[in-house]
DNA sequence: AATAAAATGTAGCCTAGGTTACAAATTAAA
DNA sequence: TTTAATTTGTAACCTAGGCTACATTTTATT
C-alpha cells in the first residue's frame, strides 16, 4: 500500500513554501495575456491607419492571422477597455489611450529587435522572437537593452 | 455619408498585404501558449520531486498560484500529451518525455536569468522577466545569450 | 438602378484556463 | 479505532480566443 511521503516532522508545520514571489510572477504572467492581445491589436490598427489610411476588420484579420469573427469580438472588448472606437460597418479608430499604448509598443518592439540583432541573431529570427519577448520585458530590462545598444 | 477610403486603383487588386511572415509569427505565438503551460507544470513537478520527494496536487496549486481544480484539469491534458503519469489520489510523476522537457526548461530559464543579470538587471526583476521571456527564446537567441555570457 | 461582390455582423460550437461549491478518499490525531 | 483534517476529485459556471455557417449591409460593377 503506497504511503505518502511524510513532509513534516511530527507536530511540525508543512514544508512546501509557496515561494510567493514566483507565485506572483506567474499570476502576473497570466493577467498580462489580456494586455498582450490589446497590444497586438492597437499596434496593428496604428500601423494600418498610418499605412493604408484606415484600419478595417478584414485588414486586421489578415494582419493578425485570424478570422474576422475573432477580430470583431476582440474589438468589442477593446472598446469596453477604452482603447478603440468602432461603429458598425465603419473603420476602427484608436482612442488617445490606444494611441499611447500603440506608440509604446512600437518603440519597445523596435528596441527588442535591435537588441537581439546586436547580439548576432539573424533578422528574421529576431523579429520572430521579439514578437513574443516584447510583452515580457519590464521597463528595467528595456532600459538595460537600451543602455547596451548605446554602448555599441 | 462617410465613404470608405479607396484602397485600390480602378481595376487593381487590393493593397493590404498579409505580411505572411508576421502572420506566421503571431500564429506560432498563440499555438505556443499550450506549450508554455506544459513547461511551467513539468518544471514545477521536477522541482518538487527533487526538493520534497514527490509532487502532489496541492503543492502544484500553491506553487503555480492556482486552485487545485485547475491543476487537476491541466494534469489530465498533460497526461494525454504524454508528459506525466497520474493515478487518482497519488503523487504525480513525469514521463521520460516530461523529464526531458523539464531539464531543457530549467537550463533555459537559468541562461535567461543569468543573461539578464549580466546586463545589470536586478535579480528579482531578472527572475520575473525570465519567467515570461524564456518561453519565447528560440534556440538561436539562446545560443546568442550563451555566447555573450561566455565572453564576460 | 439592379445586381454581384465584399465586408461586417451574429449565432453557436470548441478548447484552454480560471473560479466556487460540494462530495469522496486519504492521512493524521485523539 | 474513531474522528477530524487534509487532499483529491467532480459539477457547473465564467472569460478569452479560436472556429464555421449564415444573415445583413456596404461597396463596386454592369
B2, pLDDT greater than 80: no
Query: Are residues B29 and B21 in contact, defined by beta-carbon separation less than 8 angstroms?
Result: no
Round to whole Å and give the CA distance between B108 and B101: 11
Partner-chain contact A141 B119, CB within 8 Å: yes
Model pLDDT, residue A12: 28
CA of A6 to C1' of D21 (A): 57
Within residues 32-61 of protein chain B, the ones with CB less than 7 A from nucleic strand D are 56-59
B9, pLDDT greater than 70: no
Round to whole Å and give the CA distance between A72 and A78: 10
Average pLDDT, chain A: 88
Q: What is the pLDDT of residues A24-71, one digit of tens each?
A: 888 888 887 889 999 999 999 999 999 999 999 999 999 999 999 999
A16, pLDDT greater than 80: no
| Cα dihedral across residues A101, A104, A110, A113: positive or negative | negative
pLDDT band at B123 (very low <50, low <70, confident <90, very high): very high
Q: What is the widest separation between alpha-carbon atoms in chain B?
A: 72
Model pLDDT, residue A15: 39
Round to whole Å and give the CA distance between A111 and A146: 7
Chain centroid offset of residue A4 CA: 42
pLDDT band at A151 (very low <50, low <70, confident <90, very high): confident
Give the closest of A5, A53, A136 to B129, CB-based. Answer: A136
Model pLDDT, residue A120: 98
Strand D atom within 7 Å of A148 CB: no
Round to whole Å and give the CA distance between A100 and A18: 37
Instruction: Count Cα neighbours of B25 within 13 Å in the Cβ-side half-sphere.
Output: 20
- Exposure of A40 by Cβ count < 10 A (0-12 exposed, 13-18 middle, 19+ buried)? buried
> Would you state the cell numbers that stand for residue A68, as one nine-digit string?
474576422
Q: What is the pLDDT of residues A62-116, one digit of tens each?
A: 999 999 999 999 999 999 999 999 999 999 999 999 999 999 999 999 999 999 9
Partner-chain contact B54 A144, CB within 8 Å: no
Q: Cite the beta strand spans of chain A per DSSP E.
A: 84-85, 93-94
Strand D nucleotides with an atom less than 7 Å from a protein beta carbon? 6-12, 16-21, 25-29
Closest alpha carbon to A38 in A82, A68, A69: A82
Model pLDDT, residue A4: 52
CA of B23 to C1' of D26 (A): 27
pLDDT band at B14 (very low <50, low <70, confident <90, very high): very low
Query: Are residues A65 and B27 in contact, defined by beta-carbon separation less than 8 angstroms?
Result: yes
Query: Are residues B68 and B61 in contact, defined by beta-carbon separation less than 8 angstroms?
Result: yes
pLDDT band at A13 (very low <50, low <70, confident <90, very high): very low
Q: pTM to 2 decimals?
A: 0.87
Round to whole Å and give the CA distance between A119 and A116: 5
Range of weakest confidence among A12-21, A65-74, A135-144, B98-107: A12-21
Q: What is the pLDDT of residues B45-96, one digit of tens each?
A: 999 999 999 999 999 999 999 999 999 999 999 999 999 999 999 999 999 9
Q: What is the pLDDT of residues B88-117, one digit of tens each?
A: 999 999 999 999 999 999 999 999 999 999
Instruction: Give Cα separations from A76 to A82, A141, A150 (angstroms).
Output: 10, 32, 41
Round to whole Å and give the CA distance between A120 and A101: 29
Query: Are residues A108 and A71 in contact, defined by beta-carbon separation less than 8 angstroms?
Result: no
CA-CA-CA-CA dihedral for A53, A54, A60, A64, to nearest 10: 40
Amino acid at each position: 500500500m503506497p504511503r505518502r511521503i511524510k513532509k513534516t516532522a511530527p507536530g511540525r508545520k508543512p514544508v512546501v513554501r509557496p515561494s510567493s514571489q514566483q507565485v506572483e510572477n506567474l499570476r502576473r504572467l497570466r493577467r498580462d495575456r489580456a494586455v498582450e492581445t490589446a497590444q497586438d491589436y492597437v499596434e496593428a490598427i496604428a500601423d494600418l491607419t498610418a499605412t493604408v489610411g484606415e484600419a478595417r476588420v478584414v485588414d486586421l484579420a489578415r494582419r493578425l492571422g485570424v478570422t474576422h469573427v475573432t477580430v470583431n469580438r476582440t474589438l468589442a472588448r477593446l472598446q469596453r477597455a477604452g482603447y478603440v472606437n468602432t461603429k458598425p460597418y465603419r473603420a476602427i479608430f484608436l482612442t488617445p489611450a490606444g494611441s499611447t499604448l500603440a506608440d509604446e509598443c512600437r518603440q519597445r518592439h523596435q528596441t527588442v529587435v535591435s537588441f537581439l540583432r546586436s547580439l548576432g541573431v539573424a533578422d528574421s529570427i529576431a523579429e520572430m522572437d521579439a514578437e513574443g519577448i516584447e510583452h515580457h520585458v519590464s521597463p528595467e530590462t528595456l532600459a538595460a537593452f537600451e543602455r547596451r545598444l548605446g554602448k555599441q
